[in-house]
Structure 1
Amino acid sequence: MRIKVETRQDGDIEVPRRFHLNGDPVDVVEMVDQWFGVGYRYCKVKGSDGALYILRYDELRSEWCLAMFASERSQAVTGEWTSPRQRVKGLLQ
């Protein structure tokens, strides 16, 4: 999904500062991670709405798109989840 992203300069590159999702602005409160490939860059950011986003920048087209979204609620659920194997291991100790 293509999105409009406002950026700021961080050293040699521009990083997301704010983006618009369904017309609503979301401020980037934290740059969690970023990684680069040939012709693209991914930025994992935390939004002002508490959600986690992965934004992909296509350097050849100068386009940003939303690659992944995890709401604050889904992060809380998955953060507390333990696999059955971990639970069994805990019971055996």
Structure 2
Amino acid sequence: MEIKVECYAGYRGEETPRRIWIGNRKIEVKEIQDRWLAPTHRYFKIHGDDNAIYILRHSSESWEWDMTFYEQLKNHSDVA
């Protein structure tokens, strides 16, 4: 799914997602739960202010963002 991601720009450029837009809906990143690297992508598992978990993928070749996973949590105790 195509999304827009606003990041904290550290020394590596677009490093850490701060908020995402899905259409006109803005979601603030409450917490980055995990991050990992693959040969051509960087992944971020985030907890949004809408009480959902997202996995975002950033291409190091095209500099595009994708959402690869979404789960709406029922309550705050569901957060891993």
The TM-score bracket by the shorter chain reads 0.7 to 0.9
- Name the CA distance, whole Å, in 1 between partners of 2:76 and 2:31: 16
Q: Give the superposition deviation at 1:73.
A: 2.2
**Contact 2:51–2:76, Cα closer than 8 Å, also in 1:** no
Q: What TM-score comes out, normalization by structure 2 length?
A: 0.85
Identical aligned residues as a percent: 32
Aligned residue pair count: 77
Give per-residue Cα distances to partners, 1:42-93, cap 9 Å, x unaligned.
10000010100000001100000100000022987xx5xxxxxxxxxxxxxx
The residue identity in structure 2 corresponding to 1:9 is A
1:21 paired residue number: 22
Q: What TM-score comes out, normalization by structure 1 length?
A: 0.74
2:63 paired residue number: 62
Say which one has the larger Rg: 1
Range moving further from structure 2, 11-20 or 61-70: 11-20
Unmatched tracts of structure 1, length 5 or more: 80-93
Q: Give the superposition deviation at 1:21.
A: 1.2
Residue 33, structure 1, aligned to residue 45, structure 2: no
Q: Give the superposition deviation at 1:10.
A: 4.7
- Which one has a larger percent helix, Structure 1 or Structure 2? 1
Residue 6, structure 1, aligned to residue 6, structure 2: yes
Give per-residue Cα distances to partners, 1:27-53, cap 9 Å, x unaligned.
001000001011101100000101000
Q: Secondary structure at the match of 1:67?
A: strand
Unmatched tracts of structure 2, length 5 or more: none
Q: Give the superposition deviation at 1:23.
A: 1.4
RCO higher in 1 or 2 (8 Å CA, sep ≥ 6)? Answer: 2
